Amino acid sequence: METLEGAELCFPQLLNTSCRKPIRPHSEATTIFILLSSISLLTVALNLLVIISISHYRQLHTPTNLLLLSLAVSDFLVGLLLPGQILFFRGCWLLGDFMCGFFFCVAFINTSASIGNMVLISVDRYMAICDPLCYPTKVTLRRIKICVCLCWTCSAFYNSVILKDFVRQPGRYNSCYGECVVVINYITGAVDLILTFIGPITVIIVLYMRVFVVAVSQARAMRSHIVSVTLQPSGTGTAKKSELKAARTLGVVVAVFLLCFCPYYYPALTGQDTENSSSSSAFLVWLLYCNSSLNPVIYAFFYPWFRKSIKLIVTLQILQPDSCGTKLL
């Protein structure tokens, strides 16, 4: 009996303080482990391809692609964090309190940065579609770089404030040894909900509704062959066909983002304390993280330049001299 009881503990040598492992059929545990490991590897590999493509090829050094690069870095980090979530599914955190605190800090910063990147992408598409004449002068590579740096810096500072007590004592919310839990109280959760979800999501939806209306009107005008007559007097100019396609593609990215992120914030919307642990929010966290593996798939489906760059990378043509000047567009 003691051996059986010990086998159910995360740390059998700590009979009185160790957490118990969740009881799962071996086949189910193996299936989950293989599935989640595959998603982790896929997320890392696909986003690494995006990072290499945009960083290496000069033709892809545009303001919009720089925002996609920042988002890909965020998604890449998510892929690196996924093995930690696998530990949660196994029911035992074996890396200690310090790594528990580090894991949640990086995860929170990454989530906020992802949302910030989505807001920046929405603003970029709004400017490109609704004010195309001023877009090249207002949206420059230098300004986008500054915005991306501010996004990550503000995310790091903001989450360090929220998690300051947890960082000082990472194991303060653990009920037993082998658990990794962070709890955000109602007040902090409400503030966080407004600043990192309701506010940004409202901005994203409003901007994309405006982009959608303008894009539809311009598409109709182009089909009628009266674009210059119809749109020039309004002072907004005419967006390029490529800009309209980019808006549609990034609109899909934003829609998938909302579908994956909204369930994660549901407990806060209903007034509950937000708890991240191995038992309470595993599915919601994984739904959120799966968004990171879907973004490169969307790029591959809608962006010919991404498919071309993948071919060049896989066939090692990227290693040839002056390959950074290859035409992809």
pLDDT reported for residue 247: 67
Cβ-based burial of 42 (10 A; exposed 0-12, middle 13-18, buried ≥19): middle
Would 303 be classed as within a structural domain?
Answer: no
Band of pLDDT at residue 1, cut at 50, 70 and 90: very low
- Single pTM value for the model: 0.81
DSSP result, 12-67: TT-TTTBPBPP---HHHHHHHHHHHHHHHHHHHHHHHHHHHHHHH-GGG-SHHHHH
Average pLDDT, the chain: 79
Residues 210-235, mean pLDDT to the nearest whole number: 62
Let me know if residue 294 belongs to a domain. Answer: no
**19-28 as b/e: b if 16+ CB within 10 A:** beeeeeeeee
Tokens at residue 295, please? 């973004």
Give the range with max mean pLDDT: 74-78, 216-220, 234-238.
Answer: 74-78
Q: Is 255 left (phi over 0), alpha (psi -120 to 50) or beta?
A: alpha
CA distance 198 to 219: 31
The average pLDDT across 118-144 equals: 88
What are the tokens at 19?
Answer: 């957490």
What is the mean pLDDT of the segment spanning 272-298?
A: 65
Question: Would you say the C-alpha torsion 9, 10, 16, 20 has a positive or negative sign?
Answer: negative
pLDDT: is 204 or 143 the higher one? 143
Rounded-to-integer distance, Cα 233 and Cα 311, Å: 44
Give 76's pLDDT tier (boundaries 50, 70, 90): very high
In a domain, 160, yes or no: yes
Residue 148: predicted pLDDT: 95
* Percent share of the chain, pLDDT over 70: 80
The domain of 176 spans 63-286
Mean pLDDT of all residues in 299-314: 86
Number of domains, the chain:
1
Q: Does any domain span residue 36?
A: no
Residue 191 has what pLDDT?
A: 83
Q: Please check the confidence at residue 227 and state whether its pLDDT lies above 80.
A: no
In 10 A of CB 232, how many CB atoms?
12
Question: Around 120, how many Cα atoms within 13 Å sit in the side-chain half-sphere?
Answer: 27
C-beta atoms surrounding 234 within 10 Å = 9
Range 194-217 average pLDDT? 83
pLDDT of 239 reads 56
* Distance separating alpha carbons of residues 172 and 163, to the nearest angstrom: 12
Q: Give the residue carrying structure tokens 């989950």.
A: 32
Do the domain assignments include residue 94? yes
Percent of the chain clearing pLDDT 90 (strictly above) = 17
Q: Which residue has the higher pLDDT, 221 or 290?
A: 290
Task: For residues 39 and 127, give the distance between their C-alpha atoms in angstroms, rounded to a whole number.
Answer: 35
132 in a structural domain:
yes
Look at residue 120 in the predicted model and tell me its pLDDT: 92
The per-residue pLDDT for range 25-44, each reduced to its tens digit, is 777 777 777 877 888 898 89
- pLDDT band (50, 70, 90) for residue 143: very high
Token pair, residue 284, equals 């919601």
In a domain? residue 178: yes
By C-alpha distance, which of 166, 147, 143 is closest to 155?
Answer: 147
Whether 326 maps to a domain, the answer reads no
Q: What would the mean pLDDT of 152-156 be, rounded to a whole number?
A: 94
What CATH number corresponds to the domain at position 104? Answer: 1.20.1070.10
pLDDT single digits (tens) 167-189: 888 777 777 887 888 877 777 77
Q: Which residue has the higher pLDDT, 102 or 229?
A: 102
